[in-house]
Amino acid sequence: MTAKPPSSAVSVFKRLFGAHQAHTALLDLDSRILAVNQSWMRFGRTNGLAEHYRFESKEYVRVCETAARESAYAVDAMVGMLAVMNAGRPTFSMVYPCHSPSTQRWFRLWVQSQMPESPTIIMAHTLLGERLMAHDIESASNRATLQRDATLMNQPICCGGVTLHRDPADR
């Protein structure tokens, strides 16, 4: 268990990101959600979560572990997030698909450490414009980001009995 973030971290987050367009969350270094903004809640409700569902105290890495059984993007997101939380990487960013039955959507995930000011990370999912094409997802900068993550964390991660690899050739 890591150091508990100061309670002021949540109030500062809400003040800065409460009405931000990106779906944004504040997490502690154990990946527990401390707060989410209005966009995050609205996206959840629009995509089937009950009105009363509470994101706070859920472990985001568990969400990634579950999704990783079906999505290599979820593996990459978890590796990047863990690199920020545990390996000293200041930021991580990647592009991933999040399609609905009626809409093709691509998001950019951005994760940033708030250390040393507060033992927290900020995570934002930003909807990208419709002009983004699939070949943009495979861009050199995105691949370079994933390769840097593999270098930072060169051992497979074992989550819930599933071994997760960073190198697509290992999948």
Q: Which burial class, exposed, middle or buried, applies to 50 when counting CB atoms under 10 A from its CB (0-12, 13-18, 19+)?
A: exposed
- In which element (H, E) is residue 117 found? none
Largest distance between two CA atoms of the chain:
44
pLDDT tens digit string along 115-146? 777 889 999 999 887 555 444 545 545 555 55
* 149: exposed, middle or buried (Cβ count in 10 Å: 0-12, 13-18, 19+): buried
**The predicted structure's pLDDT at residue 131:** 53
The confidence score (pLDDT) of residue 159 equals 39
Q: Does domain 7-164 have CATH number 3.30.70.1140?
A: no
Q: Which of 30, 25, 166 lies closest to 109, judged by CA? A: 25
Whole-structure pTM value: 0.72
The domain spans of the chain are 7-164
**pLDDT single digits (tens) 80-116:** 999 999 878 899 999 988 888 888 888 999 999 987 7
